[in-house]
Chains A and B, each alone.
Chain A
Amino acid sequence: MSYLEYNTKFVPTGVRKLLYLNWPLVLLLIAVACAGFLMLYSVGGGSVTPWMEPQMKRFALGLAVMITVAMVPIWFWRNMAFVAFGGSVLLLLGVEFFGEVRMGAQRWIDLGFMRLQPSELTKITLVMFLAAYYDWLPLDRKSHPFWVMVPVIVILVPVALVLQQPDLGTALLLLMGGGAVMFLAGVHWAYFATVVTAGVGGIIAVLESRGTTWQVLQDYQYRRIDTFLDPTNDPLGAGYNITQAKIALGSGGWTGRGFMQGTQSQLNFLPEKHTDFIFTTLAEEFGFVGAITLLVLYTLIILFCIASAMSNKDRFGALLTLGIAVTFFLFFAVNMAMVTGLAPVVGVPLPLVSYGGSAMLVLMAAFGLVQSAHVHRPR
């Protein structure tokens, strides 16, 4: 396949590409990031240090990365998909052997200037690889059992490695993200129905296996499930986080307690208030209005991605855009479900808002891919 396949007649070139960026999407990303800066300023006790300032610098870097990625033609990225995915699987193997143990799980590789979380990278490269795979696969083979098994195995390799770390949350996100791309590519309904049925059966098996010799999950993972089902069981231990988070969120009311007036976050009752639980700070200080506003901003990002994909006749570009949108959606939906007590605490940050380096950079690079697909789409 070469770029001659693309009808490049209307594709902008050079600096003119900047004009053809999906600017509403850029503005939405900036708006969400600004909400994050505001909350980091608040939980920092009304100070740009220690969180707001580094986060702003990182976001600026992220914007630069996004635009750089967007400038590169999409067919280059399609050709790079296999290399990128292979590289991130190697990195995942790397953490197995050289990773630093942190918070009880091996997740990081220290590159000196930043700590890289290969599982973050894998979420995007997996989507890239699957989009490229379905771009290459002739349409009539997409539901053939053999050609379905190939991407399934490709998905299961990083999932198995991430589970090994162990990081159940990311493994599930990879599984759902990969599955979503397969679904979007048009793989037959029946496969998904089977998998969902098997999944429900599997969950029941996992819960039933507890305490037996063939116990599937680690004890701490079972405890998280217990805590999720009834946080009041253990209000000072594992349930403390979720209980305090719900109190913070609920006490926000309609319009919140006011900027920097949230007692739960300002008085340190909230755990991880600058990372995984930052949404509760926002919901506490700006109330229902603030929380829904952020939710709407996220929704708009998803909608703009879907719109961009639907106007894109290039299969790789469309699948990549939708896959990244789904991954992004899974991030914030799981985080919000987690802090509102709808899902167990799995340690997923709120994208673009939570304090964190590698997650944000990877995400901005992913939106760079979305932009590249948008700029270089055949019209």
Chain B
Amino acid sequence: MKRPPKDVIQSSRIIGRRALVVGGLQLGVMGIIGFRLRDMQIEQADQYRMLAEENRISMRLLPPARGMIFDRNGIAIAANEQNYRVVMVREDAGDIEQVLARLTEIIDIPPDALTRAMDEMSRRAPFVPVTILERVSWDDVAQINLNTPVLPGVQAEVGLSRYYPMGEDMAHVVGYVGPVSDYDLSQIDDPDPLLQIPRFEYGKTGAENRLEEDLRGSAGTRRIEISAAGRIMRELDRQEGIPGKDVQLAIDARLQSYVQARLDGESASAVVIDLENGDLRAVVSSPSFDPNMFVRGISVADWQALMENKYRPMAAKAVQGTYPPGSTFKMVTLMAAMEAGVITAEDTVYCPGHADVSNIRFHCWKRGGHGNMNLHESMKQSCDVYYYDIAQRVGIDKMAEMARKLGLGVRHDLPLSAVATGIAPDREWKATVRGENWRIGDTVNASIGQGYVLTSPMQLAVMTARLATGREIKPRLIRLIDGVEQPSGLGPSLGLNENTLRRVRASMDAVCNHNRGTAYGSRILAEDRKMAGKTGTSQVRRITPEERAAGVIRNEDLPWERRDHALFVGYAPVENPRYAVSVVVEHGGGGSAAAAPVARDILLQAQYGGPPPLDAYPSNLRDQIAEQQRRIADRIPAGTRSQGRA
């Protein structure tokens, strides 16, 4: 069947026409695509370029160096040390097990660290460096660097980590840092992005915690190019951060170390205040712990040992601990009564050894009684009955007011953890807190610092400082932040009667320097460096009438936790006071025996700026003191050992 030529020609014409139509449509579509390309690649190129850059570039934070903490003489308390860690990149290592086996031949790796690293490597992307071991010594780093050819993928990296050169001596003041936790983050409203860095060092307790914002500094940034999978391709640029601010404490590290050594691991605390400006020269709680353990990550065994120790090494007793102040509260009662004008210095009270108030018998510590007591004698001999009497005359509200004026029962704003408020009880306090009416017996108890009264060693030191100066001294822990002087703690006059103050001070002088004073045994002989003060012995148990009839059980015969607290507050020199001190020895027995000698040694050390000459002590004590000084000198860290007199 031959096709007619006409048919072929017609068919060609039809196909030709339709081909042109289809070709035109195709060109149209290509035109649209071309326009679309022009639109995207030329009109909107900048916008897409920016999106591409956003994809590609990631900001990484560079942690700044944390601010250092120094003592008042520039001795480092918290520093940053370089530490080396060994990291391994899985994809560079090839045969992980073989490389790790070689590595264990070169350096010592604990098996659990090894399994942890293996585990992490299998979980993370192959290009992520996984830390195998932290805090590697320089020798080990050198060994690794030497063996680089057989250790593919293994590198030693350097980083900064916190180090506390003074170890346990400053633990309760500076606290410690640790890896930032979810709990820490939840406590902050608008967390610094730095805190998102894994294992970033964050102040957990003490000044490290309270000054966190100052110490932290601000982050630097590193712009890096990353792939869609998150692999870092290269660094584009970097901007270093601003290091944290350096902080200088008012603490005298040498004195602090001395006090720590002098407390000798007993459950005790002591605070030394400089009366010129409220500087806290020493804030010591004993026993203590090594904060470096926490930075490195404390072992379960160490943690349990700390927790199970009945002396509570973790507690910053000097500011957190509250104790019945015992007789050291008598100055408050006395000042309140004198200021209210309900007694004069010469008024006497007869002490038969007890007083009966609303059918309850309150005993004096001296069973036979002191006889006729006036202000001076009652302080010197610490007669209780005198205070039972004058307290009833002045009333609890005036006493509480005086206590607060002198710094008890109020919270001193210090950059430390859990600073205790204590209790200066009055009628309103008992009504709101206990929902009970105030009883006259409560006043009697409070007059000698028992019952509801609770004070911290810090507050007792502030009280002593205020009595010694008559001015509103506020404790100051921080001298300089980033070179800027912090406000002085020396406040205005308290407006107390100067005559009254003089009499109280004279009686405190007598406590230490009169041969019938309760702290006469702890007197200082050195002229112009003598100490004035007040002993305190506070009961932690009730003595029943039966026990009293049978004879009060001696402290030594009681279990430790039921013994009396021993307290002493004092200042020196008697004329022109410079330092105030408070010492509390938990369950230490009597204040004159357990606390006063410690206070004496501390005040001597502070005044001499180092070990005092033996002739500052009464001759009968000199041999014992010499032995004690030798023992302490061995314990004080070399870096802070005194270089003779300051």
Contacts and interface: CB of A to CB of B under 8 A. Distances in A.
B646 interface: no
B226 interface: yes
B42 A299 contact: no
Contacts of A337: 29, 33, 36
A336 B33 contact: yes
B15 A264 contact: no
A250 B26 contact: no
A333 B30 contact: yes
A310 B227 CA distance: 51
Interface in A97-122: none
B22 A326 contact: yes
B233 interface: yes
Contacts of B40: 246, 249-250, 340
Given A251-B49, A291-B41, A315-B8, A180 B22 contact: yes
B23 A302 contact: yes
B645 interface: no
B225 interface: yes
A268 interface: yes
Interface stretch (A28-36, A181-189, A196-204, A221-229): A181-189
A139 B30 contact: no
Interface in A243-301: 244, 246-254, 263-264, 267-269, 283, 287-288, 291-292, 295, 298-299
A251 B34 contact: no
Contacts of B20: 306
Interface in B8-42: 8, 10-12, 14-16, 18-23, 26-27, 29-30, 32-34, 36-38, 40-42
B22 to A, nearest CB: 6
A319 B18 CA distance: 10
A184 B22 CA distance: 8
Chain B CB within 10 Å, residue with most, of A138, A244, A252:
A252
B47 interface: yes
Nearest to A182: B18
Main secondary structure of the interface of B (DSSP, over half): helix
Contacts of A249: 37, 40-41, 48
A317 to B, nearest CB: 10
A269 B41 CA distance: 18
Contact of A139 (B10, B44, B225): B10
B45 A292 contact: no
A69 interface: no
Contacts of A329: 26, 29
Given A1-B1, A5-B3, A291 B29 contact: no
Interface string A130-169: 0000000011000000000000000000000000000000
B177 to A, nearest CB: 37
A220 to B, nearest CB: 23
Contacts of B55: 244, 247, 263-264, 267, 269
B227 A267 contact: yes
A184 B18 contact: yes
A283 B41 contact: yes
B45 A253 contact: yes
A308 B354 CA distance: 131
B36 A306 contact: no
B347 interface: no
Nearest to B10: A139
A319 B55 CA distance: 48
A295 B227 CA distance: 30
A87 B56 CA distance: 49
Contact of A186 (B14, B29, B32, B33): B14
Contacts of B32: 342
B41 to A, nearest CB: 4
B7 interface: yes
A250 B41 contact: yes
A7 to B, nearest CB: 10
A356 B529 CA distance: 97
A322 interface: yes
Nearest to B32: A342
Interface residues of A, number: 50
A15 B176 CA distance: 91
A150 B2 CA distance: 24
B11 A315 contact: yes
B301 interface: no
Contact of B37 (A267, A269, A288, A318): A288
A309 interface: yes
A207 interface: no
B48 A247 contact: yes
Given A251-B52, A313-B8, A340-B36, A287 B15 contact: no
A336 B55 CA distance: 23
A309 B23 CA distance: 12
B52 to A, nearest CB: 4
A242 B346 CA distance: 98
Contacts of A248: 52
Contacts of A322: 15, 19, 22
Contacts of A336: 33
B236 to A, nearest CB: 11
A303 interface: yes
A337 B31 CA distance: 11
Contact of A185 (B15, B29, B227, B229): B15
Contacts of B7: 138-139
A253 B49 contact: yes
B228 interface: yes
Contacts of B1: 1
Interface in B38-86: 38, 40-42, 44-45, 47-49, 51-53, 55-56
A139 B9 CA distance: 11
B228 A333 contact: no
Nearest to A334: B29
A267 B23 contact: no
A251 B40 CA distance: 8
A293 to B, nearest CB: 11
A68 B56 CA distance: 48
A159 B7 CA distance: 32
Contact of A247 (B15, B22, B51): B51
Contacts of A288: 37-38, 41-42
Nearest to B37: A291
A185 B49 CA distance: 47
A83 B55 CA distance: 52
Contacts of B228: 267-269
A303 B30 CA distance: 12
Given A315-B11, A333-B26, A186 B18 contact: yes
Contact of B16 (A246, A302, A310): A310
Given A249-B40, A250-B44, A268-B227, A303 B15 contact: no
A315 B47 contact: no
A263 B236 CA distance: 14
A303 B7 CA distance: 26
A249 B42 CA distance: 10
B232 to A, nearest CB: 11
A302 B26 contact: yes
A334 to B, nearest CB: 10
B48 A246 contact: yes
A315 B9 CA distance: 10
Contacts of A326: 22, 26
26 contacts: A5-B3, A183-B18, A186-B15, A247-B51, A247-B55, A250-B52, A251-B51, A252-B45, A264-B56, A267-B55, A267-B227, A267-B228, A268-B229, A269-B52, A288-B42, A291-B37, A292-B34, A298-B30, A299-B27, A306-B19, A310-B19, A318-B12, A322-B22, A326-B22, A340-B36, A342-B33
Considering the complex of A and B, which 6 residue pairs feature the smallest CB-CB distances, nearest first?
A250-B48, A251-B52, A186-B14, A253-B45, A267-B227, A268-B228
Given A183-B21, A250-B47, 13 more contacts: A139-B10, A180-B22, A185-B15, A252-B45, A254-B41, A254-B45, A269-B228, A283-B37, A288-B41, A291-B41, A318-B15, A326-B26, A340-B37
